[in-house]
Structure 1
């Protein structure tokens, strides 16, 4: 039985979830360590450990990985949200329906990680947090507010030109008088601008690209290899720079 499981693991067409479950069987039924399994299948201990961690994901996500609807690379930011099931499920749906690449998914993961640490540190006052939540509900996408000594900025997630148009329509429905109304009021109240004030750039990418599951994993072969054999737990929030 042990040999049969190992031979099954070495099949090229084995999906990541079945591979992880096969590793887990060797652990449960034969008391193998991750290092011992790695030697038997010609992989590193870290590769085995990172594979087994996939099994902590909800069944719906595991099913999507098994069926090739999302790639194994998407698991990293999803695993990071294991203690936030609602955010995890939302990100999973965005990957599925908006065809996010691995890098795009990781970028959202970093945003969520930043938001988690920011709120834990109570850098936002309750009133601003409430505004952030209301904007998120109103626009139907993630919104974060970054306050500074002089003003701040609002970050709104969107994933297509259609999303951007929808956000614009929602904002216009609130009958904003002009596109520079807030700026005009700020200039009237503060005739002399603060020194060294940065001017934010707003870039909207309206290109629509038809993508397959394979090219949604936009990591290079070297990056994939590094993730597979990472010494650290690659799904930990600490591995997402802010």
Structure 2
């Protein structure tokens, strides 16, 4: 009988995988050599002689995990199914800006999907699936204003709160949607509540550690000055200059002058030096080098506004020099960062 030949034909058939072992590669099955040295033309094809076929060998498929699934598919979700991000770093939303965005969406549609995460919530009717916003609150508000039935969104697998905050901060900063104070609060939250170092935050945001440090320092200003920076009444550069004054009362006093007299960066720098008891009289060589023309003066003012510090531009015929003043290591780092940022590199 067939079963007596070399252990039987059952030995030739692979046993069904019961799930306890997962073969890592395809197994090659061979028929036993029963030709006994018979020439090739007299060899016996056992499979054909006994009319059976070996079962196909199925290569095990890899298990698909949730994180293996490509997540950047766009889904259309009802706006009312999306809850606000509790870690949203942005506090101020300009209603006029939302209306302008709504008009743009009405004409062109939503060009960039929202970013959300899926969450399961318990209710009296059982468990329901909702979505938590990570980035795109202005677009969501505009969509609700228009009464859109659905809104395009990308679902991200971001469970820990730190990931949601991190993604929201990065998305907003990359789109320059956050005010300096909102950025500072978000960075401080990553640092204080989630234990991230300033160097780690800087790496995530593509900034220097000194830039993160300078931004967070804005939170040490009096609340009225922070609010003014957040609302755009005072620039970040002016806020950093006020930080050079250690007395909060003096900071508030000069802040009032900024609002009242609309001080330029140069005027503010002079006022701060005077408050510190530092002479504001120009050096003798500066008196001998007046501005050559109005164009040079305009250039100097533009540089001062851009760099947030005092700049001196002097000309001597076709040549001249530019002197950039700084009064602390933090101010120097801020100036350097602005220069390097223009060509997409980092100073540190």
- TM-score (norm. length: structure 2): 0.35
**The structure with more helix, counted as a fraction of residues:** 1
- Please report the TM-score for the alignment, with normalisation by the length of structure 1: 0.49
Higher RCO, Cα 8 Å, sep 6+: 1
Whichever structure has more strand as a proportion of its residues is 2
Bigger CA radius of gyration = 2
